[in-house]
Amino acid sequence: MADYRTVHAGAGARSAEVDAGLRTHMNKVYGTMSVGLLVTALAAWALANMAVSSTPTEYMVGDGEYLTGLGYALYATPLKWVLMFAPLAMVFGFNAVVSRLSAAATQTYFYAYAALMGLSLSSIFLVFTGASIAQTFLVTSAAFAGLSLWGYTTKKDISAWGSFLIMGVIGLLIASVVNIFLKSSGLEFAISGIGVLIFAGLTAYDTQRIKTDYIAHAHAMDGEWLAKSAIMGALNLYLDFINLFMFLLQFLGNRD
């Protein structure tokens, strides 16, 4: 008969190993996500600066601000639809990429996606003041940190939220596309309010799911799977952050 103390010590060691591995895994998730956000911010800022000039042109966008030729092509021609929907097409292909590429190549794909997202979001610098964008980013960061921490530490199983939240995202996407043509300020306000609630819930839900997925697969210790899992987790939290930021910007952003 096995010695109880030996069995108990072995179980404790395995538990400590999982805890240490989980911390490493979550650090990888948050680190990859943070780099992705930095890439997005730099891409958005760089394109916005190339698209706008203080030198007068025929395309005025604000007090003393004018679109360059590049800016006009990206923001005032049908090319704007390509720039708007390209990140959506790219993210839909993410699962196929994960299954076919190495972890390193998948991470590169994620950063390329983050850069493309930045190009797509660059027009916010034409609409909102830089100070209000920075303020909204800080508010989003604080809210995201609190929601993610709660999702990580709560003992409550919130996995049942998943289906409801995903259906909410689909509804938001459809409503947003419809409102591109309706241009209803009332519908835009409703979409923004509901969007904040949905992506707040998804932040907590995705954090808990990343944690539980790791614990469920930790015994296998498949390095390639763990690396890809961290990138997928980073993508999910990245999308939660970006969407939470964009919806909050509708409330907190000051327009130029």
pLDDT reported for residue 11? 47
pTM over 0.85: yes
Alpha carbon distance 213, 185 (integer Å): 40
Q: Report whether pLDDT(106) > 50.
A: yes
In the sheet with 65-67, reading across from the earlier edge strand, the strands are 52-53, 65-67, 60-62
Domain that holds residue 55: 4-252
DSSP 3-state of 67:
strand
**How many distinct structural domains can be found in the chain?**
1
pLDDT digits (tens, 9 = 90+) for 195-220: 999 999 999 999 999 999 998 887 76
Alpha carbon distance 27, 39 (integer Å): 18
In this structure, the chain runs to a length of 256
Q: Report whether pLDDT(256) > 90.
A: no
pLDDT reported for residue 166? 94
Q: What is the mean pLDDT of residues 132-140?
A: 96
Contact, 114 vs 37, CB < 8 A?
yes
